Amino acid sequence: MEKIWAPWRSKYIFNENIEKGCILCNRIKKEKDVENYILYRGEKAFLIMNIFPYNNGHLMVAPYKHTALLEDLDNEEGKELVKTMTLAVRILKESLRPDGFNLGINLGKVGGAGIEDHLHIHIVPRWNGDTNFMPILADTKILSVSLDEVFKLLRKTMDNLLC
């Protein structure tokens, strides 16, 4: 039998403290970008890795403004959200070379939002054949590269793109 390891998740399994407040706001306030997998900070939006990724390189773009509603964003916030999403796609194309992407916003609990109170856009890189029998038969998703390794690669690529 093959074992599947995801050791970076152990801190969430063993942590009995439930985080208070918005997890996105909490991460951005800490100013510990490497520890919190924050790749980019713009003026009105930021780019962060999803720590429970669907695929390696699963990113999220969020406004600094704490709102669940797309219509609460002003024009500048909306523009920067799209600009940061575009940067995320460029970083992923350059570093991980996916065959395609899923981009999406889940609004509200019924809409599938895991973080209901803070608007965010998911950017999920996809590769031909990245879905196999494991999610269907074993309710298990296999991620081949650790969050730390992916973060370092994406950060290096981003730094090169922004020079």
Q: How many CB atoms lie within 10 A of CB 75?
A: 7
Please tell me which residue in 58, 118, 120, 122 is annotated as part of the active site: 120
Report how far apart, in Å, the C-alpha atoms of 20 and of each of 17, 26, 35, 111 are: 9, 9, 18, 23
Q: Is 120 a catalytic residue?
A: yes
DSSP string, 28-51: HHHT-TTTTTEEEE-SSEEEEE-S
Q: How many CB atoms lie within 10 A of CB 13?
A: 8
| Residues annotated as catalytic (active site), given as ranges | 120
